[in-house]
Amino acid sequence: MNSWSEFHIGDVRVRPNIVLAPMSGITDSAFRSIIKDANPGAVGLVVSELISVEGLSRQERKSLRILRSVASEQPLAVQLFGWEPERMAEAARVAADQGAAIIDINCGCPVPKVVKRGGGAELMRQTERLRLALRAVRGAVSVPVTVKIRAGWDDRSRNAVEIARLLEAEGAAMVAIHGRTRKQLYSGQCDWELIQAVKASVRIPVVGSGDIDSAELALRRLEETGVDGVMIGRASLSNPWIFQQVAALRTGRPVRVPTEQEAHALLITLVERLAAQVHPLVALGRARGLVCRMTKGVCGGPALRDAVMRAPSIDTLLALLRSAFVEQVAAVERFAYAPAGDGDALPRRPALLHR
């Protein structure tokens, strides 16, 4: 591995410099741990989905649940969203006590109910509040504190460089930036030139995020912009092995594309893990979302998604996935043993997860 393939956040080594991005509704312990298992040694850091500071201070089950993790996820960054510096400090203490190696402050969430109260991307407009929040959180914990921002609020206010400088002056240990404004949500172009400008303007590590959908692009973004690391979010859903593909490409090894069976087995294991970890109704809701996102654009996906959305319980959902798997294996076997020269009559090769 080259020396530029790792960096430090405070005293936490991030090796390699490829990070699983925080995704609400997705990056809980089950997803984070399955991504680590599927990509041994190839994910330098995982970040929790955003956790409500208000929820944590009220000891709400949902917030406490998101804090749960297993040892293999380390180093783990726990992301908090809130607006009251004192409450954020208190929540950071709880998260650090529960094993967070890094506390990350969400400064990019675009959701109206979050920004209306002063949290998420609104903190990029309320710079004094952001300064106080970071100060309070840093004062409360001994682990490094990082911040994830956007390009700005809207096109008239692309203040990521100014915010990054403020964060550096206040002792943030790293800044991650998704190169879209709050107004853009997830549409339009991600501005990697702005991410590069942020990197050039501060001395703390900068991690870039946005639209990385292949191993090649991950390495290209690192090289072109000089950022210390990159985050991969949505692509980890359609291709959970993308991290090991980056590692392979980087070291000149062949990029392995897992088989359909492996892809299907991963999805089943993920849902099983979810079912074992959380309340059956929570597991059902989250599993529906995961299956829908992870089977997009695949053969047989629409019918499976339709059935999964109507599944009344997590056990039924798992049974559906398992029987789809059995059918898929049978179809692959038919394909493998079909007589030569009979190409047109072959069943279409099923693919559960496209890559």
**CA 235, CA 354: separation in Å to the nearest integer?**
11
* CB-nearer residue toward ligand FMN: 226 or 289: 289
Report the distance separating Cα 6 and Cα 22, nearest Å. 19
CA distance 43 to 17: 8
Compose the 218-257 pattern: x for residues touching ligand FMN by CB under 6 A, - for all others. --------------xxxx----------------------
Applying CB under 6 A, what is the total number of residues that bind ligand FMN? 22
Centre a 10 Å sphere on the Cβ of residue 8 and count the other Cβ atoms it contains: 14
Site for ligand FMN in 179-218 (CB under 6 A): 209-212
Give 177 or 331: the residue with its C-beta nearer to ligand FMN: 177
The DSSP line for 113-166 is HHHTTT-GGGGGT-HHHHHHHHHHHHHH-SS-EEEEEEEESSTT---HHHHHHH
Our CB check for ligand FMN shows the closer of 114 and 204 to be 114
| Interface characters, 253-282, with ligand FMN (x: CB under 6 A) | ------------------------------
Give least dist CB 335 to ligand FMN, A: 33
Shortest Å, Cβ 286 to ligand FMN: 12
Q: Which is nearer to ligand FMN, 108 or 350 (CB)?
A: 108
Minimum CB separation of residue 78 from ligand FMN in Å reads 11
Residue 21 touching ligand FMN (CB under 6 A): yes
Which residue in 213, 272, 237, 248 sits closest to 353, CA to CA? 237
User: Which of the ranges 21-29, 62-70, 280-288, 347-355 carries the binding residues for ligand FMN, by CB under 6 A?
Assistant: 21-29
Q: To which residue do tokens 């206010």 refer?
A: 157
Choice between 209 and 328, CB closer to ligand FMN? 209
Q: Residue-wise over 275-311: b if at least 16 C-beta within 10 A, else e?
A: bebbeeebbbebbbebbbebbeebbbbeebbebbeeb
> In this structure, what DSSP letter does residue 72 have?
G
Record the tokens describing residue 329, joined without a space. 């294996």
For residue 300, what are the CA distances in angstroms to 204, 206, 246, 260? Answer: 46, 40, 28, 12
Distance CA 44, CA 246 (A): 12
Residue the block writes with tokens 């493998």: 336
Residue 254 beta carbon to ligand FMN: minimum distance, rounded to whole angstroms: 24
DSSP letters of 11-22?
Answer: TEEESSSEEEPP
157 lies in the binding site for ligand FMN (CB under 6 A):
no
Active site residue 109: yes
Q: Return the number of the residue (260 or 288) whose C-beta is nearest ligand FMN.
A: 288
Site map 23..52 versus ligand FMN, x via CB under 6 A: xxxx----------------------xx--
Query: In angstroms, what is the minimal distance from the CB of 209 to ligand FMN?
Result: 4
Minimum Å gap between C-beta 239 and ligand FMN is 11
3-state secondary structure 193-250: HHHHHHHHHCCCCEEEECCCCCHHHHHHHHHHHCCCEEEECCHHHHCCCHHHHHHHHH
Selected catalytic residue, list 107, 109, 190, 299 = 109
Between residue 56 and residue 115, which ones bind ligand FMN under the rule CB under 6 A? 79, 106, 108-109
Window of 22-30, 162-170, 302-310, 346-354 that interacts with ligand FMN by CB under 6 A: 22-30
Binding site for ligand FMN (CB under 6 A): 21-26, 49-50, 79, 106, 108-109, 148, 178, 209-212, 232-235
Name the residues annotated as catalytic: 109
